[in-house]
Structure 1
Amino acid sequence: MSLPRDAFHAPAEDPLRLAHEWLFEDGPVVVHARAGRRVGAALVGELEARVVRLRLLDDVVGGGDLYPMVHAEFRHVGDVVNRAAYTEDTGRRLLTVLGELAQLAGWVSSDAGRHHEAQRVYLAGVAAARSAGDHALTGQLLSSLAYQMTTVGDPRDAVLLARSAAKGARQATPVVRALLHERVAWAAARCRDRDGTRRALDTVDELYEGRALGIAEPEWVYWLNRHEIDVMAGRCLIELGEPELAEPLLTAAIAAYPTGHAREIALYLSWLAESYARSGNLDAARATLHRARHTAAGVHSARLDSRIHEVTSLA
């Protein structure tokens, strides 16, 4: 099944239907397995394209719905890596696909509230990415795990892991490095490390502004833009006790966000509500939380549900 990129910006019910069709169709691994154990460039190309499609589905489908199909894809590719025959170059590409799927599977698991599963898959992805010699992807996987640890683990450990990920990928492209330093900033903010947070956010700004059209970034950083960076800065400001400075950053980012991305909009509305609540504007906080709940209706995301519940206690 081949769909245009625009298909993933349709109303939420359409991506969910596509996701379930994906779950029940025969994927390229199954089709190629019928033809023998030898794996070539054609299968790898199909798998690379499917990772992109799954990643775009994550923009509009909650982790509770996307979890089974992402993990099925991860298992299928893992079987190919372990059992099939292929050249060294094909093997490197397969390991990269497996690492990218591990990052997505970990992210979806975390969104679905399966944190132990997320950690296991992230670490499996680290092994695949390292074997492929992909330092940027290795950093992305470790950084993603640090992001989860910031919220559901010890943020001090998360800071160490996020900084290690950023240092290990210091030769990566500018936008990749900006993403990794965002995770450093968030972990530092959760530790109430004002200086560390400011340094990391300044580094994010410098790296993002230093990006260039001539530098090819990995596809998996397509979503990081100025508004996303402002959202993270706003979240950090709230953690550091400056909610009034976060409000304009969050408001502008929410207004610019694609309407089909319900989970992210609802999450960012929850941060806006918290900024209002911590600034003493409880009426605005309650009204914004109402918008968040309305936007979140039908999105199966344990992370989102937990976040809205947490902010509700403030307002």
Structure 2
Amino acid sequence: MTELGGNLRAAREAAGVSLAAMAAMAARTHYSKALIGHLETGRRVGDSLAAELERRVIELRHLDDVVGGGDLSPLVLRELSDAQHVVRTASYGEETGRRLLVVVGELAQLAGWVASDAGQYTEAQRVYLDGVSAARDAGDHPLAGQLLSSLSYQVANVGDPADAALLARSAVKGAHGATPVARALLLERLAWASARSRDHDSTRRTLDAVDDSYDQSTDGTEEPEWVYWLDRKEIDVMAGRCLIELGDPTAAEPLLSAAIDAYNPGHAREVALYQTWLAESYARAGVVDAAQSTLTTARKTSQGINSTRLDRRITDIERLLRQP
């Protein structure tokens, strides 16, 4: 998947197709005839349909690497609704039912994530909580934790950070059986909520716990697919962001710079977001020229990306740089 983003973007641009149009085309063509038949008739379904839906969740999750939430959200929300329809109306065996509920939970996490990226915060909260119910019904406690921690991340950014920290702690505590990288992800969201709450001790303890959990992963550990993107550079980015929130931008800068240099350029939204954090680290350290230059780079990187989250970050740093 490492070349997917660059190849997809190159093909789209060569064809002169916008991201919105691409998402619309995907929405018209993604279902097989067999799946459409199941959706229309509600008849008994089995492993083949569950496998097709599981495959589709992975495709959509990786599409989020290269498509902004404003373009991707309608497609994912529709697919979530269709998967929920299958669960409600079809008949199936116990194991197939569990797999379908996990699909609903994973689609709900992705739907909430892209809706939040598009600035649709109420919708994101609704689908996150729907997903928690599906994950719990499936007995998938780490997935339920992933959904709760995703909601905590939204609340930390646009709501009360203290509420976000409570949600994030609940996510970590309830994620029984979480694998090392999955647990590291949940702890990252707790670290962020703690930093946004200006809780220095909790933030630093939790960042240490993120490192410890991530380091416990081995090549033989079977992690859930939804943590495919979490690696050392992502952990460094989060640590850098937390350090900025705690008032230590100088320590944040090398972590952010190294991670950005190593990042896949095809994942333009994330690169631009991380560039805004680097610009903030420079600005808060008083290195205004570097902050301005980095923000200019972030603006260029962000061109054509339909992401309210990214637009807000750029606006926030512009406002910061205008302050005397």
Regarding TM over 0.5, the answer is: yes
| 8 Å CA contact retained: 1:265, 1:295 | yes
Q: 2:100 aligns with which of 94, 98, 108?
A: 94
Q: 1:21 aligns with which of 5, 9, 25?
A: 25
CA apart distance, 1:185: 0.4
CA apart distance, 1:9: 3.7
Tell me the percent identity: 61
Distance 1:79 1:90 in 2: 15
Give the corresponding residue for 1:77: 83
Secondary structure class of the residue paired with 2:64 = helix
1:215-254 equivalent positions in 2, closer than 5 A = 215-254=221-260
Give the corresponding residue for 2:309: 303
Q: Which amino acid aligns with 2:261?
A: A
Secondary structure class of the residue paired with 1:211 = coil
Task: For residues 29-75 of structure 1, give each alpha carbon's deviation from its aligned partner in whole angstroms, at most 9, with x where no partner exists.
Answer: 32434576111111110100000000000000000000111011001
1:188 partnered with 2:194? yes
Cα distance change, pair 81–36 in 1 and its aligned pair in 2 (3 A): closer
CA apart distance, 1:12: 2.5
Q: For structure 2, list consecutive stretches of 5 or more residues without a partner in the other structure.
A: 13-18
1:122 partnered with 2:119? no
Give the corresponding residue for 2:161: 155
Q: For structure 1, list consecutive stretches of 5 or more residues without a partner in the other structure.
A: none
Give the corresponding residue for 1:270: 276
TM-score, with length taken from structure 2: 0.93
1:12 partnered with 2:9? yes
TM-score, with length taken from structure 1: 0.96
Give the corresponding residue for 1:177: 183
| 8 Å CA contact retained: 1:170, 1:177 | no
1:290 partnered with 2:287? no
Secondary structure class of the residue paired with 2:230 = coil
1:62 partnered with 2:77? no
Aligned residues: CA RMSD = 1.5
Distance 2:245 2:59 in 1: 34
Distance 1:263 1:12 in 2: 12
1:257 partnered with 2:263? yes
Cα distance change, pair 178–250 in 1 and its aligned pair in 2 (3 A): same
Give the corresponding residue for 2:15: none
